[in-house]
Structure formats: structure tokens, C-alpha cells
Amino acid sequence: MSKRKRSIDLLPLNYPSVDPSGSFDDNYEILNSIEEGTYGVVSRGVNVHTKAVVAIKAVRPDTYSRGLTITSLREISVLKQVRHQNIVNLIEVVAGPTAGKVYLVMEFVEHDLGALIRSYSQNRPLFMSEIKTILSQILSGTQALHNHWIMHRDLKTANILMTNKGIVKIADLGLARKYGDELYKYTTTVVTVTYRAPEVFFTNGDYGPEIDMWSIGCIFAELLSKDGSSLFRSHQELGVVQEIFDKIGVPTAQSWPDFRTLPNNKIVRVPKNPPEPTLLQLVPRATAQGKDLLHKLLALDPSKRITASAALNHAFFTSESPPPKHPTQFPSFPSRGKLDATPTTTSPTTAT
């Protein structure tokens, strides 16, 4: 078998074969580790021929088949299918020195949004023009996925990257799935619990791309916060459900007409006389149109939740002042993997 091209064995039949385009050892060198997750280790690397810096994801093999996991296959499939400036670019798939060892070579993106928000909160809150720029790019990348009938299913600030030129990139698409078959039920073990839409809790997998819009609503609230904290704090499912009721509101005949018909509607008691939702108290910086968009993203009823396309045309972006800041006007930061995350240039003094 050729060292430069090795087929991956034992792939699920419903996925196309993945043929690495070359050998890792012949083309790339690891510089330093960035992060380690459930499905692989991501490192900063360099192409030894072009000297281009790249991100290299060493994919964990499936425990039983020794081939690629379904999660890795999904990520490769989506990244090959959807090419967009706000989705991380897959450069190539290369084979490692041993059978079944595979690396995804992607464009290197300097920062993750969660770390940047926390870094900003130590100095100053994000300007509203910066929030609009970041959020509009997240929506644009999500719209591209939805236009291809793909839902991400794990949008959160840790999976949103940003370049030193202010360009946002959606990453970590291992949980992405095609949607559109109304008879198909999906797994409910998706989306980090603090970004998980209510219909995932209350149904047995009967959900669609609206769950991504809820996650974006959570990200929007995080961008608006003064300290970079998550909208929902509990790490337990029932705890998050209770927080949703407290902060967004309880399901009513008006806010979610079908709620009482959902199979898991009794997992938590819905109070008869709930207090006023606290959402707007948590985001006092939100503008009038920002509040309206946030409510539409965090609508309890998925059928009433705003789409990515409609959100991009919302007055928050199109007519309310200030307009989105041009991405190149963002300050630059040290790359991921470095301990110091403070801005390397000062920002304009006018808050926009």
C-alpha cells in the first residue's frame, strides 16, 4: 500500500470513502498543542514545503472498527460540502504513519470566541458594533449550513473561532447532521447543555435547525454580558430547564401552544404563577432592536424562532445605530495556545 495514499478501512456504508491526499510525515510538522477534546487532539502545525501555519486535528480511531468514527466522517463530509468564509476551511485529509491514523489539516484560526469574550471582559465590554460584526458572521455561517440542510448541533462560543483580521469561523462540526426527513428522530445527547434548546429536553429527538438558532441566542446573550458569563450556568439538564423557565419564561398556551403534547413535558413542574422572566435584567446593555432579536432567537416554541436568514435582515444589523464594525478594525490578540490573552493593540476610545 502506498505511503502517500492509504484508504480508510471499515467505514459505515452510508458515508463515502475517505482517501487521504498524502502522508502527514512527508508534508507537515507539529509546532505545539492547542487543545484536546473527545474526538481528537488539535495542534498548530506547519506545511514543511510552503511554511504555511495550519491547524492539525489528530482524529481518534473508532474503538471497535479501528476506522474513522462517525463523528469524524460527518465533520469531513460537511467541511467538504459547505465552503464558506465563516466556516473553518478543511485543506486536506492526510494519513499518519500507521494504518487508521488520520489527520485533518485545516486553516489555522488564531482565537476561540469564548476566550476572547473573557479577555475583553477583563478590559472593557465588547462594543455594540463589534457584537454586531461577530453575531452577523455566526449567522452567515449558520445560514450556509442550513441552506445545505445541515444543522450544526453544537454551537457555542468554544466552537466559534476568530482570525486576527476579525473573521469568524464556525468549527467542530462532528455533531452536524442532515435534516429534512420529518419521520426521523435524532439523538437528544447533542449540544452542550447550557446552549441546548428546550425542545431537545422535552421531545424524543423531534427537532430541527431551530436548535442552532437557540444556541446563537445563548451566544448573543454571552456577547452582551459584562463579564463574559454564559446565560445558563447549570451543568445539569433539569437545572438548565429551570433556568430557562426563570430567565426566558414558562411555556404557556400563547408562547408554546404544543408544549403540553410533548412526550417529556412533565420532567419538571411548570409553576402556575411564575415571576417575571429575568432575561433583560441580565443584558442591560442590549439595545431596543437587540432585545427584540434576542427574544426571537430565544423563543420557546421552535416554530416561532427566527431563522438565520431573517435574523441577518433584522433591524439590529440593518438600521439601528451603530452599524457593524469592519472586521479589520478589531484589535489583534496572541494566538491560541499562548497564556497571555490581552489585546496587543488598543481599541478606539469611542464605544460603538
Q: Is residue 40 a contact partner of residue 60, using CB atoms and an 8 Å limit?
A: yes
Q: Which of 250, 248, 240, 153 is nearest to 194 (CA)?
A: 240
- Backbone φ and ψ of 105, nearest 5°: -100, 120
In sequence order, the 6+-apart residues with CB closer than 8 A to the CB of 348 are: 329
Q: Can you name the residues that pair with 168 across neighbouring β-strands?
A: 162
Grid cell of 22 as nine digits = 498524502
Q: Which of 89, 84, 11, 16 is nearest to 57 (CA)?
A: 89
For the CA atoms of 140, 142, 144, 147, the dihedral, rounded to the nearest 10 degrees, stands at -130
Q: Can you name the residues that pair with 151 across neighbouring β-strands?
A: 177
Instruction: Evaluate the CA torsion angle 256, 260, 266, 267 in order and state its sign.
Output: negative
Grid cell of 111 as nine digits = 482565537
| 162, 200, 308 from 262: Cα distances, Å | 38, 11, 25
- Cα 254 from Cα 203, distance rounded (Å): 19
CA atoms within 13 A on the CB side of 338: 12
Q: Is 154 an active-site residue?
A: yes
The type of residue at 37 is: G
- Cα 323 from Cα 129, distance rounded (Å): 6
Q: Which of 154, 206, 227, 301 is catalytic?
A: 154
Q: Which of 180, 238, 190 is nearest to 214 (CA)?
A: 190
Largest Cα separation within the chain, whole Å, is 69
Q: Is residue 194 a contact partner of residue 277, using CB atoms and an 8 Å limit?
A: no
Q: Counting beta carbons within 10 angstroms of the beta carbon of residue 281, is it exposed (0 to 12), middle (13 to 18) or buried (19 or more)? A: exposed
For the CA atoms of 279, 281, 287, 293, the dihedral, rounded to the nearest 10 degrees, stands at 0
Q: Which residues are annotated as catalytic? A: 154
